[in-house]
């Protein structure tokens, strides 16, 4: 396994810590007037998304985790698992809904996704910043009901519920932000 020095830490690097795999979100090299230098880091757990803060001595060695990313296309759902096709090799990859987490709310058949794995274990999925989904069910807008900023719940084709403006009706295609789960615009 590759080891790196704390002076080589950069945003986006994934390291192995005793608690699991963590991606560096922020780091700061600190050289106080008294005492030795140290590195203050903010780390995100690759599996759960929890954020922790850790401080390391300047000469400390850390174990770098090699993360593989595969460009895939979502094909279909098989029970509790989701089936993806690797765009390079055309192999089918089976991913549990537990590994996908909140991403299941935005997966549409033939949609693109980046499968993230470490040592053959799938630890997550990266989606595009926004996806286009069809509204399966919502109350129809009433003529003249155009209050600025008013919202109503709408169930999408994936089963996810999002707040949309009053003028958006059932069967319409909308853009949803995959990071926040909020309505962006009509598509």
- CA 39 remoteness from chain centre: 26
Identify the top-confidence range among 44-48, 85-89, 96-100.
Answer: 85-89
Note whether 62 and 56 are within 8 A (CB).
yes
* pLDDT, the chain, mean: 86
Q: Do 143 and 160 fall within a single domain?
A: yes
Query: pTM for the whole thing?
Result: 0.70
Rounded CA-CA distance 170/131 in Å is 17
Rounded CA-CA distance 124/178 in Å is 14
Q: What is the CATH number of the domain that holds 30?
A: 2.30.30.30
pLDDT in tens, 5-27: 888 888 888 888 887 888 888 99
Q: Do 121 and 143 fall within a single domain?
A: no
Among residues 41, 64, 87, which one ends one of the domains? 64
Q: Do 59 and 86 fall within a single domain?
A: no
Rounded CA-CA distance 76/107 in Å is 9
Percentage above 90 pLDDT, the chain:
13
Q: Do 44 and 19 fall within a single domain?
A: yes
Instruction: Provide the number of structural domains found in the chain.
Output: 3
Residue 165 clears pLDDT 80, i.e. is over it: yes
Rounded CA-CA distance 113/73 in Å is 6
What strand order describes the sheet that includes 81-86?
A: 92-96, 81-86, 68-78, 112-118, 121-126
Domain that holds residue 17: 3-64
Among residues 109, 126, 143, which one ends one of the domains? 126
pLDDT in tens, 137-164: 988 766 666 666 778 899 998 889 999 8
Among residues 31, 48, 64, which one ends one of the domains? 64
Run of H or E including 162: strand 161-165
């Amino acid at each position: 396994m590759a080891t790196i020095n704390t002076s080589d830490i950069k945003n986006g690097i994934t390291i192995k810590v005793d608690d699991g795999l963590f991606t560096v979100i922020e780091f700061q090299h600190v050289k106080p007037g008294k005492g030795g230098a140290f590195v203050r880091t903010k780390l995100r757990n690759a599996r759960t998304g929890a954020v922790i803060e850790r401080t390391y001595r300047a000469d400390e060695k850390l174990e770098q985790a090699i993360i593989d990313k595969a460009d895939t296309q979502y094909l279909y759902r098989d029970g509790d698992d989701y089936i993806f096709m690797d765009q390079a090799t055309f192999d089918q990859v089976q991913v549990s809904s537990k590994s996908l987490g909140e991403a299941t709310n935005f997966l549409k058949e033939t949609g693109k996704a980046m499968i993230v794995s470490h040592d053959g274990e799938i630890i997550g999925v990266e989606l595009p910043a926004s996806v286009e989904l069809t509204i399966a069910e919502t109350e129809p807008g009433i003529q003249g009901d155009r209050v600025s900023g008013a919202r109503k719940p709408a169930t999408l084709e994936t089963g996810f519920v999002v707040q949309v403006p009053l003028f958006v009706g059932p069967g319409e295609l909308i853009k949803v932000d995959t990071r926040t789960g909020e309505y962006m615009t009509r598509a």
